[in-house]
Amino acid sequence: MVTRQRGRPRSFDRLTALEQATMAFWEHGYETTSVSDLTRVMGISAPSLYAAFGDKKTLFEEVVEAYALGHGAYGSRAFAEEPTARAAVGRMLREAAVVFTEPGHPHGCLMISAAVNCSTPEVEEALRARRNDNLAAFESRIRQDVEAGELPPDTDPHALARLAGAVLQGMSLQARDGATAEELAAVADAAMRAWPAARGGEVEPKGS
């Protein structure tokens, strides 16, 4: 006796569909991207979307996670690879200037732009929590450098972390408004000049 397989085989590439959903949310934000918008850009039916990804909110959660590990991974790489908070933040901002403006995807940062005009509390809170986690990581790394003597003892880690976050968010918005990579790189360099002098009065070379 032959047992028939239940259900139809998936007729689309899941990773490609996820990337297409990422582009839609990145461009239009969470709230204004409808399920019909998603099925159109993903090239699948609504039942296929629900079967493969769950509802819109669940799909967006997966999009954000994939973004953090892909397009948005420049920050975590900088903090993992650079020896000091100053070097890590400087690299993060300079790489953001490139990522926020490069062709092939919407400008700015998905986690910042997708939250604009978001009225879904769970989504808004999840994005806020991610941004606050990033600020906490900035602050922790800066505090370590103060304790290690890499930064002056009167450095305010909380304020300096907030400065980094504010510059990053502002760069994202300016990229959406048409700022170039060169203009945003200049913003990054100006922000780093606001940092207290490193140990021994060293100044980070421009573009390092």
- The 10s digit of each residue's pLDDT in 9-46 is 456 789 999 999 999 999 999 989 999 999 999 999 99
- The 10s digit of each residue's pLDDT in 162-203 is 999 999 999 999 999 999 999 999 999 999 999 998 765 444
In 3-state terms the chain splits into helix, strand, coil percentages (rounded to 5) of 65, 0, 35
153 pLDDT tier (thresholds 50, 70, 90): very high
- The 10s digit of each residue's pLDDT in 39-84 is 999 999 999 999 999 999 999 999 999 999 999 999 999 999 999 9
Residue burial 105-130, b: 16+ Cβ < 10 Å; e: rest: bbbbbbbbbbbeebeeeebbebbeee
8 pLDDT tier (thresholds 50, 70, 90): very low
In the predicted structure, residue 89 carries a pLDDT above the cut 70: yes
Average pLDDT of the chain to the nearest whole number: 89
2 pLDDT tier (thresholds 50, 70, 90): very low
Residue 116's nearest CA partner among 20, 28, 19 is 28
Tell me how far apart the alpha carbons of residues 172 and 165 are, in angstroms, rounded to a whole number.
Answer: 11
